[in-house]
Chain A
Amino acid sequence: QVQLQESGPGLVKPSGTLSLTCDVSGGSITSNKWWSWVRQPPGKGLEWIAEISHSGSTNYNPSLRGRVTISVDKSKNQFSLKLNSVTAADTAVYYCAREYDSDGYYGYFDCWGQGTLVTVSS
């Protein structure tokens, strides 16, 4: 059974870069086509950030495009997120998730990591 685990700094300074990694265990990252990042500000709802395929194709939320980079490392069975020029508004729990492949379209998220809280503060 696939499990996901996020890791990265819990505190990032304003204007800095948020960097997170999601380790995929219990299966190969190539066993599923798409992998995503979703975030949730404290006490608020869910926001999809970006997705990447195991071959490296990417799609981004237009509201964040230009600040976000998602990447994959098949050799390490992990994928990563970088968000630059962060502000307090980027403070959130960041989840990595497995996305069902709807044969070329977006999908639902059927497996989630435990989430990691990233706080943007000086």
Chain B
Amino acid sequence: VMTQSPDTLAVSPGETATINCQSSQSVLHSSDNKNYLSWYQQKSGQVPKLLIKWASTRESGVPDRFSGSGSGTDFTLTISSLQAEDVAVYYCQQYYKTPTFGQGTKVEIK
């Protein structure tokens, strides 16, 4: 089970948004020492977009204000210097076992 917090987050433009994701079991694979954890952004009415893979590797074309961190069971997506275009719902996903997503965190502009 993937649990995200908070459910909703209101941040002023230019400030930092921090989203947490906790897995009920470790997603760190001993065979390759990689965390099988990704992050997606879904803007209203749009398709989910891959932001981060392997917990901290930014997908090509994703602005560097998006960063992922964490290992094992606890992970964080950080959006530095939040912009209006970052308003969206963000999901974490583990692919260590049968893929599951967190319930989503809605990021709003304060």
Q: What residues make up the interface of A, taking CB atoms closer than 8 Å to B? A: 36, 38, 45-48, 59, 61-62, 95, 100, 102, 105-110, 112-115
Partner of A106, one of B40, B47, B98, B104: B98
List of A residues within 8 angstroms of B53 by Cβ: 100, 108, 110
Q: Which among B29, B48, B59, B99 has the greatest number of chain A C-beta atoms within 10 A?
A: B99
List of B residues within 8 angstroms of A108 by Cβ: 38, 50, 53, 93, 95
Q: Is the interface of B mostly helix, strand, loop or mixed?
A: loop
Is B29 in contact with A106, judged by CB distance below 8 angstroms? Answer: no
In B63-110, the 8 Å CB interface with A consists of 91, 93, 95-104
Is A48 in contact with B99, judged by CB distance below 8 angstroms? Answer: yes
Partner of A102, one of B40, B95, B103, B104: B95
Instruction: Beyond A46-B104, A62-B98, A105-B36, list 7 extra A-B contacts (CB 8 Å).
Output: A48-B98, A61-B98, A106-B36, A106-B99, A107-B95, A108-B53, A112-B48
A–B Cβ pairs within 8 angstroms, 10 of them: A45-B102, A45-B103, A46-B40, A48-B99, A100-B53, A105-B96, A106-B99, A110-B59, A112-B48, A115-B47
List of A residues within 8 angstroms of B50 by Cβ: 108-110
Query: In the assembly, what is the distance between CA of A100 and CA of B93, in Å?
Result: 13
Is B101 in contact with A46, judged by CB distance below 8 angstroms? Answer: yes
Nearest A residue (CB) for B47: A112
In B12-45, the 8 Å CB interface with A consists of 29, 36, 38, 40
Counting from the closest, the 8 A-B pairs by CB-CB distance are: A108-B38, A106-B95, A48-B99, A46-B101, A112-B47, A108-B53, A110-B50, A45-B104
Is A95 in contact with B47, judged by CB distance below 8 angstroms? Answer: yes
Query: In the assembly, what is the distance between CA of A112 and CA of B59, in Å?
Result: 14
Is B93 in contact with A114, judged by CB distance below 8 angstroms? Answer: no
Q: Which among A46, A108, A109 has the greatest number of chain B C-beta atoms within 10 A?
A: A108
Query: In the assembly, what is the distance between CA of A100 and CA of B98, in Å?
Result: 14
Nearest A residue (CB) for B29: A105
